[in-house]
């Protein structure tokens, strides 16, 4: 005998530990909905949903304007050409602003795109309230198609005085497997 | 046991041929003996240590001077990635599993590991996994180059080297989970009578808690790399922002695994040092019970600090504060341990054989790494130091001077029991002082590089960083050379070392020193009756049988 064979007691513990390993594997996947729910609850990552604008955001008296810069990037290898039709403008907090973006599908196939917005400085995100944006939904493009999209937003009147220059940048991705 | 039994025993022995030590290649391929499997693990870990070390030297050769000298940036990135993966999963983790295999049954009076065949499989999964990593250098696009953390979206975009890496991680994960199940069942079910949990050697405690950590987090790593795999090939968008996923999610899941992994590589080292320090101080371990609780609290806290790796992802200040304070809290049980080791040495009758030198080196340098860890835990400072060489310096102080030094200490300490021969004390001490010197020459300047803003994982750098990088590269090559001294000492002593006594260390008092040297091939086939003191100190042993 090298050693006594594993007993029932040993095997039961083995099964429990295997079960623990399986539970932890499932737990890793369970973190996805938890993460999603947490982001929703805390408002993190809410840049792709329309904001509601109540009167408390809109100014009765004119405030000092904020310099807004519009930008767009496309990762190498993707079929998009994206350009803001307005590069910069001075927006008065509390007033509605509309700018247009032009997006071209430069490939000869149908593609679906998704734009992801980003603010610089990141703290500006909570003061720019977007009412309409092409980033709220995926957009389908025919081969070679060019379309214009409006972005409508308000700069919150509560924007801190130091925040006098905000960049809004979009990165456009294609959605794989959906073309 | 009765007289009749013992009279029958020899006949019984010859009737069953498998009492004899099997020979040839099948002894290793079909190994079920814990000592054979332990040796396999240790040899495997050492060869991976050499492989990972060569990759490290390729990195240091490139960084000797600014500008590109030897490798293109793509290949350099593959070196940094594979160096990390191989050292973590191929060298350090298997080395600790190998030591646990070798020593645990001897230290707690068990005949073998609980599941001998599963033990064989745990080991033999490792070489194929290492092979996958090795051949990934030869596939189109080369090996994985996203850093050992394999962050998305880099990892979702790379060539098939990434797929091979993901499969290798799956296989190594299965291997380490099975190895851990074996360790837990052996410790919980196979202790000899008298070896109670709160008397058990610290190495057994550390291995037990580490094994639980592995079972809890390796499946999480397997889960997250599986998500990367499905994002790559099956049209899912877990980490693709355009498809509604989030790359930051990858970092959360990865570090939920990644931080406990840090302690998976540190706790067994604590266990080893908690035997070597008392042995060569000729005093029992100071504060044994607090050591057990400190080890457990480190393990529990390790699940609550993962986001301190992610302070720059734009998390809310409240979350930064929580993870910052939770991280600082870990310094408390770790401090208890360092205090207890020093308390053990206090007024001890100390001698400084090679294992003791490495253990003391461990305490000093691990504490330096712990201190830079507390520095990094401060969110405001971490944002400045994120992804700089300061971080590289920090984790090499805890992993090289921590985990690796403890492994050297353990191999020197148990070498006589494993092989029946003494290593060369002169070359052992030489190896220690050489490693200590060049380790610091390599890694201490990296603190300054990091503070000055040099980013990690970049093959080129600004001129101002040249001097410290040159120092680090010289240090790394000398450090690497020193490991060949270790290898030569081990190889030579294996055949020509002078025969060792059953208890070559005067102050050693745990169970493995109560049996013959080298340890009989089948030890404790009959469990001994033990009277045990704290930290596995054997006060009396009755019975117990070996062949």
B411 and chain A in contact, CB less than 8 A? no
The two structure tokens encoding residue A102 = 């032009």
Least reliable range by pLDDT among B196-205, B424-433, B536-545: B536-545
A28 with B224: Cβ contact below 8 A = yes
Q: What is the pLDDT of residue A129?
A: 87
Q: Where are the beta strands (DSSP E) in B162-246?
A: none
Largest distance between two CA atoms of chain B:
81
Q: What is the pLDDT of residue B7?
A: 38
Instruction: Say yes or no: domain B35-542 is CATH 3.40.50.300.
Output: no
Cα–Cα dist A18/A74, whole Å: 46
Q: What are the extents of the domains in chain B?
A: 35-542
Q: Given pLDDT bands bounded at 50, 70 and 90, which one contains residue B263? A: very high
Cα–Cα dist B174/A132, whole Å: 49
Active site residue B176: yes
Whether the Cβ atoms of residue A114 and residue A175 lie closer than 8 Å to each other: yes
Torsion of CA B151, B157, B163, B165, to 10 degrees: -30
Handedness of CA B474, B475, B478, B481 (dihedral sign): negative
B222 with A2: Cβ contact below 8 A = no
B99 and chain A in contact, CB less than 8 A? no
Q: Where are the beta strands (DSSP E) in chain A?
A: 66-74, 80-84, 88-91, 96-105, 111-120, 128-132, 139-141, 146-155, 165-174
Angle in degrees, CA B463, B401, B451, rounded to 5: 30
Nearest to B242 among A6, A9, A114 (CB): A114
Q: Is the pLDDT of residue A174 over 90?
A: no
pLDDT digits (tens, 9 = 90+) for A79-118: 888 989 989 999 888 888 899 999 998 888 888 888 888 8
DSSP tag of B499: B
Which residues in chain B are closer than 8 Å to A10, comparing Cβ atoms? 114-115, 185, 189
Cα–Cα dist B440/B443, whole Å: 5
Q: What is the pLDDT of residue A3?
A: 53
Query: Among B321, B262, B320, B329, which Cα is nearest to B297's?
Result: B329
A19 and chain B in contact, CB less than 8 A? no
The two structure tokens encoding residue B338 = 């360092």
Active site residue B237: no
Q: What is the pLDDT of residue A40?
A: 79
Active site residue B413: no
Q: Given pLDDT bands bounded at 50, 70 and 90, which one contains residue B536? A: very high
Q: What is the pLDDT of residue B547?
A: 77
Q: What is the pLDDT of residue A92?
A: 87
Q: Is the pLDDT of residue B8 over 50?
A: no
A28 with B314: Cβ contact below 8 A = no
A121 and chain B in contact, CB less than 8 A? no
Q: What are the extents of the domains in chain A?
A: 1-44, 55-174
- pLDDT (average), residues B41-48: 97
> Which one from B199, B309, B431, B457 is the annotated catalytic residue?
B309
The distance in angstroms from the start CA to the end CA of chain B is 16
A&B contacts, CB < 8 Å: 102
- pLDDT (average), residues B452-469: 95
pLDDT digits (tens, 9 = 90+) for A140-172: 888 888 999 999 998 888 888 888 899 998 888
B242 with A177: Cβ contact below 8 A = no
pLDDT digits (tens, 9 = 90+) for B117-142: 999 999 999 999 999 999 999 999 99
Q: What is the pLDDT of residue A115?
A: 87
Whether the Cβ atoms of residue B92 and residue B403 lie closer than 8 Å to each other: yes
Q: What is the pLDDT of residue A41?
A: 81
Instruction: Say yes or no: domain A55-174 is CATH 2.60.40.420.
Output: no
Whether the Cβ atoms of residue B274 and residue B285 lie closer than 8 Å to each other: yes
What average pLDDT does chain B have? 93
Q: Is the pLDDT of residue A61 over 80?
A: no
């Amino acid at each position: 005998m090298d050693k006594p064979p594993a007993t029932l007691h040993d095997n039961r513990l083995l099964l429990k530990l295997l079960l623990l390993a399986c539970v932890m594997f499932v737990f890793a996947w369970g973190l996805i909905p938890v993460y999603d729910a947490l982001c929703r609850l805390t408002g993190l990552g809410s840049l792709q949903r329309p904001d509601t604008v109540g009167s408390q955001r809109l100014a009765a008296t004119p405030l000092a304007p904020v310099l807004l810069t519009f930008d767009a990037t496309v990762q190498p290898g993707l079929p998009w050409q994206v350009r803001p039709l307005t590069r910069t403008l001075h927006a008065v907090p509390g007033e509605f602003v509309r700018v247009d973006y032009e997006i071209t599908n430069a490939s000869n196939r149908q593609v679906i795109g998704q734009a992801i917005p980003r603010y610089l400085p990141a703290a500006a995100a909570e003061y720019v309230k977007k009412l309409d944006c092409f980033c709220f939904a995926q957009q389908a493009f025919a081969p070679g198609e060019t379309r214009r999209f409006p972005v409508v937003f308000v700069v919150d009147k509560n924007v801190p005085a130091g925040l006098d220059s905000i960049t809004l940048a979009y990165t456009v991705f294609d959605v794989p497997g959906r073309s | 046991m009765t007289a009749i039994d013992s009279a029958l025993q020899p006949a019984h022995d010859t009737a069953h041929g498998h009492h004899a030590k099997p020979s040839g290649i099948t002894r290793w391929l079909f190994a079920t003996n814990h000592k054979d499997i332990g040796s396999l693990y240790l040899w495997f870990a050492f060869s991976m240590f050499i492989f990972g070390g060569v990759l490290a030297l390729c990195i240091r050769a490139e960084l000797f001077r600014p500008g590109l000298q030897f490798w293109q940036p793509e290949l350099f990135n593959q070196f940094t990635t594979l160096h990390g993966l191989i050292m973590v999963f191929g060298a350090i983790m298997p080395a600790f599993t190998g030591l646990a295999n070798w020593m645990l049954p001897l230290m707690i009076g068990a005949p073998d590991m609980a599941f001998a065949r599963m033990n064989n499989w745990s080991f033999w999964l490792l070489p194929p996994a290492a092979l996958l990593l090795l051949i990934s250098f030869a596939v189109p696009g080369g090996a994985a180059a996203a850093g050992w953390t394999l962050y998305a979206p880099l990892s979702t975009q790379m060539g098939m080297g990434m797929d091979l890496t993901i499969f290798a991680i799956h296989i190594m994960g299965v291997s380490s989970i099975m190895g851990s199940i074996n360790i837990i069942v052996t410790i919980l079910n196979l202790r000899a009578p008298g070896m109670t949990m709160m008397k058990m050697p610290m190495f057994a405690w550390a291995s037990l808690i580490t094994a639980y950590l592995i079972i809890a987090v390796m499946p999480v790593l397997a889960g997250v790399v599986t998500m990367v795999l499905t994002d790559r090939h099956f049209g899912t968008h877990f980490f693709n922002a355009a498809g509604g996923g989030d790359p930051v999610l990858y970092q959360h899941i990865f570090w939920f695994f990644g931080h406990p992994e840090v302690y998976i590589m540190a706790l067994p080292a604590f266990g080893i040092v908690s035997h070597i320090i008392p042995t060569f101080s000729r005093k029992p371990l100071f504060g044994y019970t607090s050591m057990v609780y400190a080890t457990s609290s480190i393990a529990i806290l390790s699940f609550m600090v993962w986001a301190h790796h992610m302070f720059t992802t734009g998390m809310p200040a409240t979350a930064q504060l929580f993870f910052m304070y939770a991280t600082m809290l870990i310094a408390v049980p770790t401090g208890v341990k360092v205090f207890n080791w020093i308390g053990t040495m206090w007024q001890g009758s100390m001698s400084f054989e090679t294992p003791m030198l490495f253990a003391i080196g461990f305490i000093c340098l691990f504490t330096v790494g712990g201190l830079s860890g507390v520095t990094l835990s401060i969110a405001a400072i971490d944002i400045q130091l994120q992804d700089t060489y300061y971080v590289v310096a920090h984790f090499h102080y805890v992993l090289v001077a921590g985990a690796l030094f403890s492994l050297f200490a353990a191999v020197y300490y148990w070498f006589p029991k494993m092989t029946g021969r003494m290593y060369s004390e002169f070359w052992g001490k030489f190896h220690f002082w050489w490693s200590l010197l060049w380790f610091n020459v390599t890694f201490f300047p990296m603190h300054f590089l990091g503070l000055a803003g040099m980013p990690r994982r970049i093959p080129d750098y600004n001129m101002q960083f040249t001097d410290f990088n040159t120092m680090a590269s010289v240090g790394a090559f000398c450090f690497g050379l020193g490991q060949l001294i270790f290898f030569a000492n081990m190889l030579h002593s294996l055949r020509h070392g002078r025969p060792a006594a059953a208890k070559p260390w005067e102050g050693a008092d745990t169970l493995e020193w109560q049996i013959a040297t080298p340890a009989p091939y089948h030890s404790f086939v009959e469990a001994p009756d033990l009277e045990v003191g704290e930290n596995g100190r054997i006060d009396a042993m009755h019975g117990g049988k070996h062949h």
